[in-house]
Amino acid sequence: TIAGEDSVGSLVTFVNGIPHKDGYRRFRIKTVRGVDDFASVREVVARRYGRLLAEEEPLPDLVLIDGGKGQLAAAGAALAALGLSRLPLVSLAKREEEIFAPGRSRPIVLARSSLALRFLQHVRDEAHRFAQVYHHLLRSKRIRGKRS
């Protein structure tokens, strides 16, 4: 997002450790004005998992959120509101690559060489890439629209 304009979220799906492109989803943030990462995470999680419940689709084995404790809490609140508080949930904070989980006061720290950490980083980075492509598309459309 740039100054809160064209805010987007993304969701990527991996099956057996491989990207499952049919499960990728992108979200234009609709209810959040300005820059509010926590509210944006809440919105995306509520929309995605609310829809999965409504359509009686299978739930994932794990929900990975990009961010730290605040983003984890926002996602957890959205899942709890949907009755999904038992769904496995963790977040991955970028700077120190710490993994946060509900109910744990301290982060999980894996070795930088850990295959598990590298996989979580790959999932997070793929979600970033997918969101950036969508953000650039929306921004380009908005800029072209202003020129016309």
What's the rounded mean pLDDT across residues 46-50? Answer: 97
Q: Examine the pLDDT at 146 and tell me if it is beyond 90.
A: no
Dist. CA 27–CA 13, nearest whole Å: 14
| Residues 96/72, Cβ–Cβ less than 8 Å | no
pLDDT for residue 108 is more than 70: yes
Residue 11 has a pLDDT of 95
Residue 107 in contact with residue 98, Cβ under 8 Å? yes
What's the pLDDT tens digit per position in 63-99? 999 999 999 999 999 999 999 999 999 999 988 999 9
Mean pLDDT of the chain: 92
Q: What is the pTM of this model?
A: 0.89
With a cut of 80, say whether residue 4 has pLDDT above it.
Answer: no
Instruction: Find the mean pLDDT for residues 91-113.
Output: 95
Q: What's residue 6's pLDDT?
A: 73
